[in-house]
Structure 1
Amino acid sequence: MTLYLNDPISVKDYFEIRETADDRLEYIDGLVYMSPSPSTKHQRISRKLLVQFDHFLTDKSCEVFHAPFDVELKKENMEGTKIVIPDLTVICDRHGFTDARYVGVPNLIVEILSPSNQAHDLITKLNLYMNYGVQEYWIVNPMLNSVTVYALNEEEMYIQHDIKTGVGGISSKFLEGFIVELKEIFNDF
């Protein structure tokens, strides 16, 4: 994840740039970040996880969305504008949907690391999602074939709920009973 522009801009200017830009652009407190194009492995992992989440959420009140889908993080006590494009987003509160994006706090977010965006996803977004109250944050590392699941505790801080590398089942705290076998998302590579 790299800065698209070196100087802060207004959210209005951000949306004007988005109209003509081909890049995936995120907006965090005036700064515009550009996501790299996803690799083939990234896309395969995303698709496999999407299918598993979608299957699990059938007949439930939550929905899963895949990138590119804008999420404008909004919470009463939080200032600034943050528009992110998570790889996968699970949303259970349907009141925040607009024609263009979701405005509010998703319940679960999945980010799949790329070599160029690791710090952004591991530090910036982890803290951003925790501060806004995203209940669960999955970080998928295709380079290590690992998944780390962070869940909010009673103090509204992320704790590591589960971590697996290579093999085993990774579980969700938020979606009780949801387990993904790593071999099913990392195989064929």
Structure 2
Amino acid sequence: MESKKPATINEPEAEYQLYSYADYLTWQFDEVVELIKGKVFKKAATAPKRIHQRISGELFLQIGNFLKSQKCQVYSAPFDVRFPKKSKEDSQIFDVVQPDICVICDLDKLDDRGCLGAPDLIVEILSPSNNETELRYKFDLYESQGVKEYWIVSPENQTFTINTLIDQRYVTSRMMTSGDVVESAVIRGFSLDLKAFFEGVD
């Protein structure tokens, strides 16, 4: 069966056309493609800036080293996270994202294609091409799907914001920066000194 041609949210037909994970699996793009509520989001075709990659790599290493003796696992993009609602069938999944970093503690959610269900922690690192997606669409998606903790990192401003799920709604921390220490409610015992962290990735 021929798959539907994808449209981006910037194209008129995208307002009416919805795509599923089954469609997503048939596409071939050079850039990263995500689905949110059945709509296609294409990230920039160019590679992320060096500082984005430095922050992602260093944060992944620090979380990974901390989790070595624990059951939780950490993954970095590209890594598909699918959010099923009523059905786990590919044709009925309309939300598929590739977070910069995610931590999954319920290992039953992992399969050969990534994660099926909400990770415990998601980290998104902002860039000029994805700020609106992260701050608007993904915030709502992660909150509604039960992601327990959602970190937003701004390389440009060297800031961290933590959204913690409490009573099914995100409670957002103040904006943290150099001099603050990030502590996670999900990865208990993990902390990140932002002054040392950002100095180390310059």
Please say whether Structure 1 and Structure 2 have the same fold, judged by a TM-score greater than 0.5.
yes
Alignment root-mean-square deviation, CA: 2.2
Equivalent in the alignment of 1:60: 70
Local SS of the residue matching 2:143:
helix
The residue aligned with 2:124 is 111
Q: How far does residue 9 in structure 1 lie from its aligned partner after superposition?
A: 4.3
Partner of 1:169: 181
Match of 1:70 in 2: 80
Report the Cα distance in structure 2 between the residues aligned to 1:141 and 1:55, rounded to whole angstroms: 23
TM-score of the two chains, using structure 1 as the length reference:
0.89
Structure 2: which amino acid aligns with 1:164? M
State TM-score, norm by structure 2.
0.83
1:8-56 C-alpha deviation (Å, 9 max, x unpaired): 3432332211xx2111100122211112231100000001100110111
Q: Name the CA shift for 1:119/1:81 in 2 (closer, same or farther; >3 Å).
A: same
Matches within 5 A, 1:12-161: 12-17=22-27, 20-36=28-44, 37-75=47-85, 81-153=94-166, 155-161=167-173
Q: Counting strand residues as a fraction of each chain, which structure ranks higher?
A: 1
User: CA contact under 8 A between 1:5 and 1:32: conserved in structure 2?
Assistant: no
Counterparts of 1:173-184 in structure 2 under 5 Å? Answer: 173-184=185-196
Determine if contact 1:73/1:81 at 8 Å carries over to the other structure.
yes
Distance in 2 between residues matched to 1:113 and 1:73, nearest whole Å: 22
Aligned to 1:3: 8
Closer, same or farther: CA 14–75 of 1 in aligned 2, 3 Å? closer
Residue 104 to residue 50, structure 1, CA distance change in 2 (3 Å):
same
**Contact 1:163/1:170 (8 A) holds in 2:** no
Could you tell me which runs of 5 or more consecutive residues in structure 1 were left unpaired when the two chains were aligned.
Answer: none
Question: Identity across aligned pairs (percent)?
Answer: 36
Any conservation in 1 of the 2:121–2:149 contact (CA below 8 Å)? Answer: yes
Query: By how many angstroms is 1:150 displaced?
Result: 0.9
Aligned pairs, how many? 185
Distance change >3 Å, CA 88–CA 62, structure 1 → 2: same
